[in-house]
């Protein structure tokens, strides 16, 4: 038995010993020991396998891609140039003015979620707040979407649509990084005709809003207050970039010593998000847990709230780069990456068919990730005991474009035929075989281009063993892992959505001869049935 299989069985045995996630006599305490002892990943998440995410907020208004609210303050970046040309210099017109322009006038959450359900999603996640520190829900934080911008409760809209379609509902919280990420808004151009003039965050106060659209709001609460602004005197972009990279540009999970109010505000907002919207899943965009004990308090609060609500903590909280012990209390998320092994604990990959924030260039260039590559990722992830959370970028007006619609619909068409090899399945004795070795880790998803018809992934479910080919074989395909030395008989081989498949089993492997690929076909799935196979 392989090491990966032994690890998986140990994890499965631990989950089985824990039994269903039951009501607890006492609430969980905000420490790792209590959380690890009192939590198990619910079956709904292990069965769901595929979710869709709307990573949407005011940064999508310019339709210029990721991190607009930071990069528009970094001279030399594309978003800075676009902002100056389209909206004005950031000393005069800052990101808060982009929030003021956001209307979400074509947003129809019911129609979008209905489409995502048809595409095979079993859970839906709405972004509740990004690093731009603007809450998309009715929040104790004054800068939120019910007061300015669209003046709508975005999270309530997503929640109601997801619940109406019978989907599990999640929220993502990225705000813990705002305190350092936003500090560039207090900087200045080191070069050019506006050199040395501080950007809008450095000059605006609550009093400046009198009679304006943001009357009564304090810009310093949005921009988090000055703590890591660049000193005066930089005269080149290289100097400014070096300063920002060493200070505000670092990815910091710890609490800011100079800004304890921000941390207290973050916790209050996170608790309100849980209490007011009852999510089934919370996604933290953090390596480990934000702010140490404060983050642990937020996790315990979420689990205890769920147990009080329904009698069981049948919820999921994800974070990144977790230790083995932390993975007993949370679900690990691997952003835009792969696992190189079958994992004992359930896990998740989050990725996107474009950029996290909508970029019109992707539509114009037809450069979205195609459905075939998404399905290759899905098959690989599920074979290794994971879930795929796929973001479909939403335009500033609340719609998705025709290319995105086409890709989403293609994913749904494949899952309608082959979903029994995905949903509710569990890993087999090994995750698969093939010539492509995928490196584990985050931000390496370009490896998907290497995958092809000689790479096979296995799942157990639907009444048999599923062999998912990551491309359509052009001739007989031999699966060495299923030779006569492997346990179990193989009595039938059936192409899902097709018919019987000719097979020959020898000591070298199981050879399957599939029919030619029909037009538009992507990944064929062969279900193998027989005694002792799964």
Which CATH number belongs to the domain containing residue 459 in this structure?
2.60.40.1180
Whether the Cβ atoms of residue 254 and residue 182 lie closer than 8 Å to each other: no
| 401/510 same-domain check | no
Same domain flag for 114 and 56 = yes
Alpha-carbon span 524 to 22, nearest angstrom: 39
Structure tokens at 94: 């800052």
**Rounded CA separation 133/6 (Å):** 44
Which of 421, 452, 482 is the C-terminal boundary of a domain? 421
Of 376, 401, 421, which marks where a domain is finished?
421
Q: Do both 321 and 267 map to the same domain?
A: yes
- Are 393 and 467 members of one domain? no
**Phi, psi (rounded to 5 degrees) for 280:** -85, -20
**Domain residue limits at 261:** 3-78+104-180+255-421
Rounded alpha-carbon distances, angstroms, from residue 35 to 70, 241, 307: 35, 41, 13
Tally of domains within the chain: 2
Q: Flag whether the pTM goes above 0.85.
A: yes
Rounded to an integer, what distance in angstroms lies between the CA atom of residue 369 and that of residue 186? 36
Indicate if 259 and 357 belong to the same structural domain.
yes
Render the burial of 221-236: b for 16+ CB within 10 Å, e for the rest. bbbbbbbbbbeeebee
Q: How many CB atoms lie within 10 A of CB 405?
A: 15
- Contact by Cβ (8 Å): 527, 494: yes
Tokens of 153: 């409760």
Q: Is 507 part of any domain?
A: yes
Q: Do residue 135 and residue 63 come from a single domain?
A: yes
In a domain, 89, yes or no: no
Query: Distance between CA 224 and CA 255 in Å, rounded?
Result: 13
Length of the chain (residues): 534
In this structure, the answer to whether residues 338 and 453 fall within a common structural domain is no
**Residue 64: inside a domain, yes or no?**
yes
| 10 and 31 part of one domain | yes
Closest CA to 186 of 253, 129, 248, 233: 248
pLDDT at 17: 42
199 within a domain of the structure (yes/no)? no
Of 421, 442, 460, the last residue of a domain is: 421
Burial profile 334-368: b = 16 or more Cβ within 10 angstroms, e = fewer: bbebbbebbbbbbbbbbbbbbbbbbbbebbeeeeb
Q: Are 468 and 525 in contact (CB under 8 A)?
A: yes
Same domain as 135, residue 48? yes
Q: Are residues 405 and 436 located together in one domain of the fold? A: no
Same domain, yes or no: 171 and 22 = yes
User: Is position 477 within any domain?
Assistant: yes
End-to-end CA distance of the chain: 14
Q: Which residues of the chain have pLDDT under 70?
A: 1-25
Here the tokens at position 48 are: 């769901």
| CATH code assigned at 322 | 3.20.20.80
368 lies in the same domain as 454 = no
Per-residue model confidence (pLDDT) at position 25 = 52
- Chain mean position to CA 166: 20
- For residue 304, is it within any domain? yes
Render 72-121 in DSSP notation, one character per residue: TTSTTSHHHHHHHHHT--TTTS-HHHHHHH---TT--HHHHHHHHHHTT-
Is 99 a domain residue?
Answer: no
Is 192 inside a domain boundary? no
Q: What was the pLDDT predicted at 19?
A: 41
Q: What is the SS3 assignment for 531? A: coil
Give the whole-angstrom CA distance, residue 118 versus residue 185.
41
pLDDT number for residue 1:
43
Q: What is residue 487's predicted lDDT score, i.e. its pLDDT?
A: 83
């Amino acid at each position: 038995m392989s090491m990966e299989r032994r690890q998986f069985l140990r994890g499965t045995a631990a989950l089985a010993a824990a039994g269903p996630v039951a009501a607890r006599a006492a609430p969980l305490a905000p420490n790792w020991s209590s959380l690890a002892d009192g939590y198990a990943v619910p079956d709904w998440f292990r069965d769901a396998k595929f979710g869709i995410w709307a990573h949407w907020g005011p940064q999508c208004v310019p339709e210029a891609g990721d991190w607009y609210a930071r990069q528009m303050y970094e001279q030399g970046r594309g978003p800075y140039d676009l902002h100056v040309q389209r909206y004005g210099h950031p000393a005069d017109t800052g990101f808060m003015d982009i929030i003021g322009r956001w209307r979400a006038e074509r947003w129809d959450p019911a129609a979008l979620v209905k489409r995502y359900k048809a595409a095979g999603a079993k859970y839906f996640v709405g972004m509740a707040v990004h690093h731009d520190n603007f809450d998309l829900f009715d929040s104790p934080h004054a800068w939120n979407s019910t007061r300015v911008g669209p003046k709508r409760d975005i999270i309530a809209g997503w929640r109601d649509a997801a619940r109406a379609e019978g989907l599990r509902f999640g929220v993502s919280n990225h705000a813990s990084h705002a305190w350092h990420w936003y500090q560039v808004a207090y900087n200045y151009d080191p070069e050019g005709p506006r050199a040395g003039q501080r950007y809008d965050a450095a000059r605006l106060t609550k009093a400046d809003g009198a009679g304006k659209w943001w009357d009564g709001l304090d810009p310093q609460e949005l921009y988090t207050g000055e703590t890591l602004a660049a000193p005066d005197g930089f005269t080149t972009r290289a100097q400014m970039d070096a300063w920002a990279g060493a200070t505000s540009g670092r990815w910091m999970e710890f609490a800011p010593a100079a800004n304890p109010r921000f941390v207290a505000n973050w916790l209050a907002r996170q608790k309100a998000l849980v209490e007011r919207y009852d999510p089934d899943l919370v996604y933290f965009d953090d390596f480990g847990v934000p702010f140490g004990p404060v983050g642990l308090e937020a996790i315990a609060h979420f689990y205890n709230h769920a147990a009080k609500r329904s009698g069981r903590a049948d919820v999921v909280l994800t974070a990144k780069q977790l230790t083995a012990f932390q993975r007993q209390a949370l679900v690990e998320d691997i952003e835009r990456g792969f696992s190189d092994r079958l994992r004992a604990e359930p896990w998740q990959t989050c990725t996107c068919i474009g950029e996290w924030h909508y970029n019109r260039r992707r539509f114009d260039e037809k450069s979205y990730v195609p459905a075939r590559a998404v399905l290759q990722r899905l098959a690989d992830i599920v074979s290794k005991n994971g879930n795929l959370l796929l973001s479909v970028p939403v335009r500033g007006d609340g719609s998705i474009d025709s290319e995105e619609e086409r890709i989403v619909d293609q994913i749904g068409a494949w899952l309608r035929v082959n979903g029994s090899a995905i949903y509710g399945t569990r890993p087999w004795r090994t995750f698969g075989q093939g010539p492509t070795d995928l490196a584990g880790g985050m931000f390496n998803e370009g490896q998907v281009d290497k995958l092809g018809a000689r790479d096979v992934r296995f799942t157990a479910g639907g009444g048999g063993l599923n062999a998912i080919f990551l491309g359509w074989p052009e001739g007989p395909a031999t699966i060495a892992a299923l030779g006569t030395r492997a346990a179990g008989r193989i009595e039938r081989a059936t192409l899902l959505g097709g018919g019987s498949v000719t097979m020959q089993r020898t000591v070298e492997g199981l050879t399957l001869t599939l029919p030619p690929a029909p037009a538009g076909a992507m990944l064929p799935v062969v279900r193998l049935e027989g005694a002792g196979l799964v």
